[in-house]
Amino acid sequence: MSDVIYLDNAATTKVAPEVYEAMKPYFEELFGNAASIYRFAGNSRKAVEAARETVADFLGAKPNEIYFTGGGSESDNWALKGVAYALKDKGKHIITTKIEHHAILHTCEFLSKQGFDITYLDVDENGVIDIEALKAAIRPDTILISVMFANNEIGTVEPIKAIGEVAKENGIYFHTDAVQAYGHLPIDVNELKIDLLSASGHKINGPKGIGIMYIRNGVKIDPFIHGGAQERSRRAGTHNTPGIVGFGKATELAKEKMESRRKYETGLRDYLIERVLSEVPYTKLNGHRTDRLSNNANFSFQFIEGESLLIMLDQKGICGSSGSACTSGSLDPYHVLLAIGLPHEIAHGSLRLTLSDETTKDEIDTTVEAVKFVVERLRSMSPLYEDFIKAKKAEDR
Ligand SMILES: *Cc1c(COP(=O)(O)O)cnc(C)c1O
């Protein structure tokens, strides 16, 4: 790892050593099935319930409102399909946004093929939804509003409290994909009037393949995974005890260091943004300047192909992510960049760098130098850039 500068923490994070240590016994001596009767399994059950309490406490929820799932994508699928199926006789209209993760957008496409009607709200140039547009989109048959807490590509944080209030006033359930926000921002489901919330372990220094869904007591939702009676008969499947314990520990750590982490990351993020914007010409910051995740920086470089940028940065040991249309499947951020109004050719030249609390200033300096070098190099090979410079010189003359 030492020769790699890892700036892709929005894609996944390293499991914290404390998390790994907390999980280990549940792979080894304490392997019992949390649903079994004998005392030996009681250890697993207690660990699952302790983790549930930690998560509930973190969200200002009750333990029986927390469900363990197989990750953020499963929680998103469950929230949308579960509510849609449970309320289909009441209405078939769902409101979401154009900048959601594909776990939401592709689920919406699936539901629309089954006769549900989806409204995709626009966002402004910073990636923020308009509350008046949300109000205007509400219909008598609207059953669910799903708006992400913070965007995974451009880092913008949405006005969750205002959305929750609109949903509540209209008697509509409010789901938020909080995968990027959970553990990074304070979240109180009652204050924010959230009815359903998704989060994932591997985005907060926990293990992969474990997530949670908060479901407010009284919310009507169909089960998603059918089978045993686990998770109050709403999410079948033998408990992933090590994963659940890891999720609980990761939550505990995130809560402990939320403030110090936010301060540290924000300082480093702003330093990175300042340097790139001032030292690389024809560059733009994507996402809201201040209402953004503390670890997210997203740039567009004119006359550059993001894919080439990533490959050349990779050769220098730097891991980032890009807005190229070529990036595979679910990681494709292109729709987000178009939704904030970037023209195609500029959206193609984007670079997302997401920090962690272990990122150093040295790493940021090395990265800025590398970005400067690579961008210059790629532009020197671009006929578009050549034309642009020629035209500019002619203008100046
Ligand atoms: C990563 C991510 C997901 C998917 O979570 P997984 O646990 O990887 O399935 C969903 N939404 C957002 C905003 C994400 O960043």
Query: Is the pTM for the entire model greater than 0.75?
Result: yes
* Positive/negative CA dihedral, 95, 194, 132, 333: negative
Ligand 1: residue whose CA is nearest its atom 10: 72
pLDDT tens across 101-136, in order?
A: 999 999 999 999 999 999 999 999 999 999 999 999
- At residue 196, φ and ψ (nearest 5 deg) are -140, 140
Mutation pick for ligand 1 pocket among 13, 69, 73 (CB with most ligand atoms within 8 Å): 73
Ligand 1: residue whose CA is nearest its atom 6: 72
Ligand 1: residue whose CA is nearest its atom 12: 179
Active site residues: 326
CA distance readout (Å), 287 to 92, 279, 339: 32, 19, 11
Distance in angstroms (rounded) separating the CA atoms of residues 46 and 30: 11
Q: Which residue has the tokens 């009767």?
A: 37
Q: What is the largest CA-CA distance in the chain?
A: 86
First to last CA, the chain: 51
Beta bridge partners of 235: 225
Distance 179 CA to ligand 1 centre (A): 6
List pocket residues of ligand 1, CB cut-off 6 Å: 71-73, 76, 101, 103, 148, 152, 177, 179-180, 200, 202-203, 211
Which ligand 1 atom sits closest to the C-alpha of 103?
10
Buried b (16+ CB within 10 A) or exposed e, 188-226: ebeebbbbbbbbbbbbbbbbbebbbbbbbeebebebbbe
**Predicted local distance difference test score (pLDDT) of residue 332:** 67
Residues of the chain with pLDDT under 50: 324-330
Q: Alpha helix (H) ranges present in 192-282?
A: 230-233, 241-279
Identify which of 373, 262, 310 has the alpha carbon closest to the alpha carbon of residue 11: 310
Mutation pick for ligand 1 pocket among 76, 149, 151, 179 (CB with most ligand atoms within 8 Å): 179
For 30-189, strand residue ranges (E) read: 66-69, 93-97, 117-121, 142-146, 173-177
Find how far residue 202's CA is from the centre of its chain: 11
- The number of residues making up the chain comes to 397
Q: Which residue has the tokens 């319930």?
A: 49
- At residue 322, φ and ψ (nearest 5 deg) are -135, 160
Residues whose CB falls within 8 Å of the CB of residue 294, separated by 6 or more in sequence, listed in order: 184, 261, 262, 265, 266, 269
Distance 182 CA to ligand 1 centre (A): 11
Distance 8 CA to ligand 1 centre (A): 13
For residue 10, the SS3 value is coil
pLDDT tens across 274-326, in order?
A: 999 999 999 999 999 999 999 999 999 999 988 899 999 999 999 999 854 44
Which ligand 1 atom sits closest to the C-alpha of 200?
7
Residues whose CB falls within 8 Å of the CB of residue 386, separated by 6 or more in sequence, listed in order: none
Question: DSSP assignment of 18-75, as one string?
Answer: HHHHHHGGGTTTT---TT-SSHHHHHHHHHHHHHHHHHHHHHT--GGGEEEES-HHHH
Burial class (CB in 10 A: 0-12, 13-18, 19+), 5: buried
Distance 72 CA to ligand 1 centre (A): 5
The token pair that represents 16 in the structure block: 């914290």
Distance 302 CA to ligand 1 centre (A): 29
Distance in angstroms (rounded) separating the CA atoms of residues 128 and 2: 37
Mutation pick for ligand 1 pocket among 9, 75, 76, 101 (CB with most ligand atoms within 8 Å): 101
Distance 192 CA to ligand 1 centre (A): 21
CA distance readout (Å), 78 to 193, 241, 326, 395: 19, 21, 29, 57
Ligand 1: residue whose CA is nearest its atom 8: 72
